[in-house]
A and B are shown apart, each in its own frame.
Chain A
Amino acid sequence: MINRYDRHIKLESFGESGQQLLKESKVLVVGVGGLGCAALPYLVSSGVGTIGLMDADRVDKTNLQRQILFSEKEIGLPKVSCAINRLSKLNTEVNLISYTFDLIPENAEEIISQYDVILDCTDRFEARYLINDACVRQNKPWVFGALYKFEGQVSVFNHKSGPTYRCLFPFNSKQQMLPSCSDVGVFAPAVGVVGVTQASEALKVLLDLDHTLSGSLWCIDLLKMNTYTIKHTKNQKAIDQIKVANHLGVKRSDYVIDLDTEINYEGYRWIDLRESHEAPQISHKLVETLPLSTIQDKKVNWSQMGNIVLFCASGARARKLAEELQLSNVRFTDLGAEQLSRKLIKHNA
């Protein structure tokens, strides 16, 4: 009988044993957006035995330009179930597992511990630090992929004691201010190239092949057709910290904004959370008042507000709200209203 994996089995580095290894392997794909839609078909067609798909989102019209597993009729439906519906037709031998919720610090280690390789197909820095930290603690390799317009970056982290994401990109609060695909757009084929490369690296890691991107950041520009690879090294201290930290991913207090570095004040909406009776009143073009007591009634859609900085009289209320919201566009300052007002004036903002 002809084996459906014949063309892989014929490769010397695969063979029957390699194909059997894939069948026994488990891969978790975190994020079924552009990258996930590109990576998943190759993992499924290659016969990876068990594949977990994780995403809490539903299909949106603007996804269709690059998220090629979804059809027009599926707008509004959960991404994971649409993807599983499509992929199960591709290969009935693969066990597809659905997670219709997000990876969070509370579930990350438990879920990741059940897989051999994790693919980061998310679009947020917070998710990447969380995947990284959980993978370090559970000793799992993971494949990173990310995009900016026509450009992509791919690397393999925590593979055979190699460098981790935090070794290459230590947490930096400035990251939270970098624009996302929904802000600046993204070239659909670039998403495809990066996602497929992630699938390729995942298969290489599963088969224990040489020349993975562990310790290397592979970069591609689809507009100029340039590729380059940058070698990076391990920061053992950063890895040791992950292992003993009492939290996973981005620390909640990382939502504080550093006003000592020269930041662009005009790039933010400054939200005064104080109640109307609290003095002094600040009248400034960049400052908006939103008393904390009114937030519940106003049903504020924080994620749609652009980059904002919360402040109050001492910073306590601002910190609490920013940490509760855990949104990359919402940060806080622990400067009091008076001090902040002076800063805004000083910087001619």
Chain B
Amino acid sequence: MITYQIKCFGMLAEVIGEQITIECNTEYSVDELIKYLSKDYPKLQAIPVKVAQNDQLLDDSAIVLSGTLSMFPPFSGG
């Protein structure tokens, strides 16, 4: 079983929650993970999302390893 502990920032914390844990049967790519989460959090589809693991930004096609990850959108305010 793969466990992802996801910390969310910015607007994503309001859509998903500040921190959630999900369990899945297989490791997902960044794209697949966002698609998976979008089923439970439809508003996610309207937000551009970046995913980082071990303080390193992941490509959208990169496989997310079991463990802790951060999700954040670009901010625009100034």
Which residues of chain A have a CB within 8 Å of any CB of chain B?
31, 33-35, 120-125, 145-149, 151-153, 168-169, 172, 174-175, 177-181, 186, 191, 217, 219, 221, 228-233, 261-264, 267
Is residue B5 contacting chain A, with contact meaning CB distance below 8 A? no
* Given A148-B75, A229-B55: 18 more A-B contacts, CB < 8 Å: A33-B78, A122-B78, A123-B77, A123-B78, A124-B78, A147-B77, A151-B75, A152-B75, A153-B74, A174-B48, A178-B48, A178-B73, A219-B9, A230-B55, A230-B70, A232-B57, A262-B45, A264-B46
CB pair A178–B11 under 8 Å, yes or no, is yes
The minimal Cβ–Cβ distance linking B41 to chain A, given in whole angstroms, is 12
The minimal Cβ–Cβ distance linking A34 to chain B, given in whole angstroms, is 6
Name the one of A175, A180, A263 contacting B77, with C-beta atoms under 8 angstroms: A180
Residues of B within 8 A of A228 (CB): 55, 70
Residues of B within 8 A of A229 (CB): 55
- Measured between alpha carbons, how far is A233 from B43 in the docked complex, in Å? 28
Is residue B67 contacting chain A, with contact meaning CB distance below 8 A? no
Secondary structure at the A interface, as helix, strand, loop or mixed, is mixed
Residues of A within 8 A of B52 (CB): 230
- Measured between alpha carbons, how far is A147 from B77 in the docked complex, in Å? 5
Question: For chain B, which range describes its interface: under 10, 10 to 19, 20 to 34, or 35 or more residues?
Answer: 20 to 34
Residues of B within 8 A of A31 (CB): 78
Residues of B within 8 A of A169 (CB): 48, 50, 74
Residues of B within 8 A of A151 (CB): 9-10, 75
CB pair A230–B57 under 8 Å, yes or no, is yes
Residues of B within 8 A of A219 (CB): 9, 72
Is residue B21 contacting chain A, with contact meaning CB distance below 8 A? no
The minimal Cβ–Cβ distance linking A213 to chain B, given in whole angstroms, is 13
| Most chain B CB inside 10 Å of its own CB: which residue of A124, A146, A261 | A146
